Amino acid sequence: MATSPHSLLLQNPTHHLPNNSTLKPFNAFPLTSTRFTPSTTDKRLSITCATTTQIQDRPPAQAHSEDRVFNFAAGPAILPENVLKKAQSELYNYRGSGMSVMEMSHRGKEFLSIIQKAESDLRALLEIPDEYAVLFLQGGATTQFAAIPLNLCTPDDPVDFLVTGSWGDKAFKEAQKYSQPKLIWSGKPEKYTKIPSFEDLEQTPDAKYLHICANETIHGVEFKNYPTPKNATGLLVADMSSNFCSKPVDVSKFGVIYAGAQKNVGPSGVTVVIIRKDLIGNAQKTTPVMLDYKIHAENNSLYNTPPCFGIYMCGLVFEDLLEQGGLKEVEKKNKKKAEILYNAIDESNGFFRCPVEKSVRSLMNVPFTLEKSELEAEFVKEAAKEKMVQLKGHRSVGGMRASIYNAMPLAGVETLVAFMKDFQARHA
C-alpha cells in the first residue's frame, strides 16, 4: 500500500535527505524508535508538511497494524486506526491553515467549521430531531450527574432512578444534593447482573424524570429497550457514555442523553449532551454558569474555550461511522463481535463465566471470571505478552473485562477467543 508523504516524514525522517545529511534541532519534539521502547538517543526533528491534502490511501475501517496492541480498555479506549492516521497527517498543519487544531482559536473560522461539521455528522448518525440541541461540554458524564437535576428540576422536585450498576448509583447519590431522588429499583443485591421488568417498577407519579444508565461499563449490563416514565410530562434521561453511537437510538424518546466521549467516539475530555430545547432555560438559581445548559446552547458550546482537539477527534470518528454505513451497520459488527466472545465463554464448560443475565449482556463491555480465580492474574499477564492489553476487571468487581467498542476490530476479538481456548487447554 502506498505511504503518504506525511507518514514517511514521521516514520523515517531521513527518507528524503542526501547521504550524511543531518536534521536541524529546532521546532522539535522527541520521537521514539518503536511503539513501545524509547529510543536510546533523543533526536529532535524539524518536520515540514509535504502537502496539505488529505490522505488518499487511508486503511479501511477495522484495519489493524502489527505494531499496535489490541486495547480492551474501558476508557480512554481504542480509536479507529484510520482516524488516528488522518489526525496524524493533519496534526502539524491542519488543511493548509498553517497551524495545528491544538493551536487555533476556538472562535476562528477553521475551528467553527470543525465543530459545526461534528454536530452535523452526529445529528445524521443519530437522526437527532431539530427540536434537540447538541452540546459539546467538559467535565465527563460525572459532571452531568449534578447538571441534570440543576437544570431540570427544583430542589423539592421528585425524580426517579433505576440503578443497574455503579454509574447509575453515583448519579443517584449526586442528585440527592439538588433534588428529591427516589431509588425505584437497584440491582445491587444481585451484584448488578440484571435489569427488571419495566411493568413492575413503582414509579413516582409526579417524578420530573426517570434516570437510567443505558450501559453499565463496569458490570456489563445494557438496556435493550427503554422504560417509559409514568408521569405524562416526565422525562427519560440516559447516561449513554459506554454505548453511545454503538447502535441506532430513537432520540425522541428521551429528554436528555449524555455521554463521555472516551469510550466510543473520541478521546477523554469531551462530553456530549443532547437535550430537548424546551427543557433549556430553567436552571436553579444556584447553578454554576458552566453547568447551565442555556449558557452553552446560546453560545453554541463556545461560551469558554472548549476541548478543541477532542471535538475535532470526535468529528473524525463521526465521519468514519457514517462512512461505514451508519449505526445500523455498526451495530451489526458489534453484535457479531459480542456473539463470538460470549459464545466462547458459555461454551467453555464453566472454565470462563459471565455473571450477567444473557438477555441484558452488554455489546460493549464483557466481564468474565475464571473458575479457578487464582489463574486470573496469569491470564491477564499472558494476554499482555500476546499484545492484548487492559483485560483486568474493574477494581470493584475483579476478574477480567473486555471492552469491545466500535473501534475494536473483529480480529481483536478473534485473537482473544483463540487465546482463551489455548489458555483453557493448558490450565483446565
167 annotated active-site: yes
Q: Of 24, 74, 79, 16, nearest to 46 (Cα)? A: 24
Cα–Cα dist 221/164, whole Å: 7
Q: Is the pLDDT of residue 421 over 90?
A: yes
Segment 322-331, tens digit of pLDDT:
999 999 999 9
In the three-class reduction of DSSP (H, G, I as helix; E, B as strand; rest coil), residue 29 is classed as: coil
pLDDT tier at 6, thresholds 50, 70, 90 = very low
pLDDT at 428: 87
For the ranges 23-27, 94-98, 209-213, which has the lowest average pLDDT? Answer: 23-27
> Which of the residues 169, 239, 292, 320 is marked catalytic?
239
**Residue with cell string 425524580:** 159
Cα–Cα dist 90/84, whole Å: 10
For the ranges 19-23, 49-53, 178-182, 371-375, which has the lowest average pLDDT? Answer: 49-53
Q: Is the pLDDT of residue 388 over 90?
A: yes
Cell of 53: 491534502
Cell of 54: 488529505
- Counted residue by residue, the chain has a size of 428
Cα–Cα dist 81/397, whole Å: 30
CA dihedral of 261, 264, 266, 267, whole degrees rounded to 10: 70
The DSSP call for residue 103 is T
Segment 115-169, tens digit of pLDDT:
999 999 999 999 999 999 999 999 999 999 999 999 999 999 999 999 999 999 9
Question: Are the C-beta atoms of residues 82 and 59 closer than 8 Å to each other?
Answer: yes
Q: Is the pLDDT of residue 294 over 70?
A: yes
160 annotated active-site: no
Which residues, including other chains, have CB under 8 Å from residue 165's CB and lie 6 or more apart? Answer: 187, 192, 213, 216, 217, 218, 219, 221
Average pLDDT for 311-329: 98
> Which of the residues 85, 86, 208, 263 is marked catalytic?
263
pLDDT tier at 335, thresholds 50, 70, 90 = very high
Which residues, including other chains, have CB under 8 Å from residue 265's CB and lie 6 or more apart? Answer: 244, 245, 259, 272, 314, 317, 318
pLDDT at 321: 98
In the three-class reduction of DSSP (H, G, I as helix; E, B as strand; rest coil), residue 258 is classed as: strand
Cα–Cα dist 54/91, whole Å: 12
Q: Is the pLDDT of residue 408 over 70?
A: yes
Cell of 75: 476508557
pLDDT at 62: 54
CATH number of 83-324: 3.40.640.10
- More confident of the two residues 45 and 132: 132
Q: Is the pLDDT of residue 45 over 50?
A: no
Cell of 140: 465527563
- If residue 159 lies in a helix (H) or strand (E), which one and from where to where? strand 158-163
Cα–Cα dist 120/106, whole Å: 18
Average pLDDT for 246-274: 98
pLDDT at 44: 37
pLDDT at 396: 85
> Which of the residues 86, 160, 167, 333 is marked catalytic?
167
Q: What is the mean pLDDT of the chain?
A: 89
pLDDT at 214: 98
Q: Is the pLDDT of residue 259 over 70?
A: yes
Cell of 374: 487464582
pLDDT at 8: 37
Average pLDDT for 28-39: 36
pLDDT at 36: 33
Q: How far is CA 270 from the centre of its chain?
A: 10
Question: Are the C-beta atoms of residues 209 and 181 closer than 8 Å to each other?
Answer: no
Q: Is the pLDDT of residue 81 over 70?
A: yes
156 annotated active-site: no
Cα–Cα dist 365/102, whole Å: 31
pLDDT tier at 63, thresholds 50, 70, 90 = low
Question: Are the C-beta atoms of residues 201 and 177 closer than 8 Å to each other?
Answer: no
Question: Are the C-beta atoms of residues 389 and 381 closer than 8 Å to each other?
Answer: no
Cell of 180: 428529591
Q: Is the pLDDT of residue 281 over 70?
A: yes
Instruction: Report domain extents, the chain.
Output: 83-324, 326-426
pLDDT at 66: 81
Cα–Cα dist 355/399, whole Å: 11
Q: Say which CATH topology domain 326-426 has.
A: Aspartate Aminotransferase, domain 1 (3.90.1150)
pLDDT at 55: 34
Question: Are the C-beta atoms of residues 191 and 169 closer than 8 Å to each other?
Answer: no
Cell of 285: 438559581
